[in-house]
Amino acid sequence: MDNSDSILNFENRNIVVVEDDISNFRYFETVLKKTRANVHWIKNGRDAVNYCTDPSNNIDLVIMDILIPLITGIDATREIKKVRKDLSVIAVTAYVSQDIQEKCFLAGCDEFMYKPLLPKQLLDSINHFFKKDRISSTLPLEK
């Protein structure tokens, strides 16, 4: 089987998408649903902090928009990482700036990506973090 044709299997993985724009969320949802991941949508930074720091929520990874309501994605990440240092956070933004990228990493983001994202780019990044967890996430889905 050609590896480029296989779809990554993130079944039983919980991915939080923090994004205030519905069309951007729908894009992430469409890409991630093909992997069988559980996708949770959060629309602002304050709710993201509350959800991601609640120990009853089993979260594997966060995709964090930077420019979101109430508190920024940078500040939300900083607060989340105080409680969940192990939680991988991928920062995404349409604003190309070395300063924003630096602030994201200083806040604790594990990856920084510019919108628009290609599906392969996003999935490869997520898979990288899941492999770091030493849990295989590269099993192909049955067609």
Determine, yes or no, domain membership for 34: yes
Give the pLDDT confidence of 58-67 residue by residue, as tens digits: 999 999 999 9
Instruction: Say if 33 falls within a structural domain.
Output: yes
Strands (E), the chain: 14-18, 38-42, 61-65, 88-93, 111-114
Confidence class of residue 3 from pLDDT cuts 50, 70 and 90? very low
Whether 78 is in a domain gets the answer: yes
Q: Is the pLDDT of residue 7 over 90?
A: no
Say if residue 96's pLDDT is above 90.
Answer: no
- Structural domain boundaries enclosing 103: 11-132
Does some domain include residue 97?
A: yes
The pLDDT of 70-82, averaged and rounded, is 96
Domain presence at residue 5: no
So what's the pLDDT on residue 46?
97
- The answer to whether position 1 is within a domain reads no
Read off the pLDDT of each residue in 12-38 and give the average, rounded to a whole number.
95
Question: Residue 52: helix, strand or coil by DSSP?
Answer: helix
> Which has more pLDDT, 95 or 40?
40
Omega before 119 within 30 of 0, i.e. cis: no
Can you give the pLDDT at residue 138? 46
- Residue range 100-114: mean pLDDT, rounded: 92
Residue 52: which CATH number?
Answer: 3.40.50.2300
The predicted pLDDT at position 1 comes to: 36
CA 93 – CA 88 distance, rounded (Å): 17
Pairs from 95-98 (Cβ < 8 Å, separation ≥ 24): 95/66, 95/67
Domain count, the chain: 1
In a domain, 141, yes or no: no
